[in-house]
Amino acid sequence: MGALPLSSQLIDHLRSVLPQDDTREALITSVVPNLLQSVADVAEALRNSHHVSAAGTANSFGDVQLNVDVTAENLIREAITRCPSIVTASSEEDPIERPVHPSPSPSSSCPPSSEQYTVAFDPLDGSSIIAANWTVGAIFSLWDGASALHQDPQTKQTAAILGVFGPRTTAIVALRVPGTPQSCFELALDSSGGGGTWQVTRPSLTLAPKSRYFSPANLRSANEDPAYMDLLMGYIRGAYTLRYAGGLVPDIVHMLVQGQGLYVNPVTARNGPKLRRLYELCPLALVVECAGGRAVDPSLGSAILATEVRDCGEKGGLLCGGAEEVEEAARKLHDLRV
């Protein structure tokens, strides 16, 4: 896939929300643009993937891979190699942190970049609904340094990107760089004229503390978890609006663009944790927090980003959305279970 022309609007916006010195120059001009380019490349590939089928392989978690999973993985890996400052990468399809670039020889004239990042990504989230041509997404988590493991997620996870493949191709970018205010904004891919550039469509995304939307994932768990059932019935009795697409990325993005909502994916004995902490929970939590919301473990009530990731295969549940809504839901789940 060819490189998209850099959008001056995107670069200007990144410069406005990141440090004014050159300490994050690679993040502004290389890392974020190349990751967004991979979103555009995957979107183009999906438009031309008229048959979605099993690839005949499984990832290390035992999940059957689709042909589009493999395509998305390869396109994103290709984009990552174009970023000298991304030194390590891992994905849900290949959950092992590996060096991105060969080690430079001692005689190399290219000094190592002062910026070093690790990328953890889910190349195509929503495999269970993509055959029906529903909206799906990609998830990227960017960390300072050569590893995302055994790091403080609240200070070392620098950015997260959600790519959205629907009627339009959009992206949500969250940035939390020490020394600057955190930010969360939306972009849309403009493919008119045969090219493509990213345009800033919502310069700031903010979640209201309370809402009237709820998204209940892992719904069958309500059959064995009375606390979850009571929580959902409370939303129904309260005339909340159900907004659930069956895909993690579109459900979270709906919340963000509406400016309100609550998403819950619980964990029960029969229906264990579904979401990978490194590839889904941490980046989603960063996005939600940068929009002023909260993201917690529905079983414990503790913040997702309060605990370091020790292994690429760790899983958990998710309760996120407006701060007051999440706090109230976490309290209800706890009170109903004790």
Q: Which domains does the chain have, with CATH numbers?
A: 8-102+111-202 (3.30.540.10), 213-337 (3.40.190.80)
Residues 6+ apart with CB under 8 A from 224: 268, 269, 270, 271
CA atoms within 13 A on the CB side of 251: 26
Please report which residue ranges of the chain form alpha helices under DSSP H.
Answer: 8-17, 25-26, 32-47, 67-81, 127-130, 153-156, 226-237, 248-258, 282-290, 323-337
The pair of three-digit structure tokens given for residue 124, joined into one six-digit string:
């195509």
> What pLDDT sits at residue 58?
54
In this prediction, the residues of the chain whose per-residue pLDDT falls under 70 are 1-6, 53-64, 104-113, 193-195, 336-338
Measure the CA–CA gap between 263 and 282, rounded to whole angstroms: 15
β-pair type (183-190, 197-202) = antiparallel
pLDDT value of position 109: 41
pTM metric for this prediction: 0.92
Residue 286 near residue 157, CB atoms below 8 Å: yes
68-87 residue pLDDT tens? 999 999 999 999 999 999 99
Convert the pLDDT of each residue in 123-153 to its tens digit. 999 988 988 999 999 999 999 999 999 999 9
Look at residue 335 in the predicted model and tell me its pLDDT: 77
CB of 44 closer than 8 Å to CB of 169: no
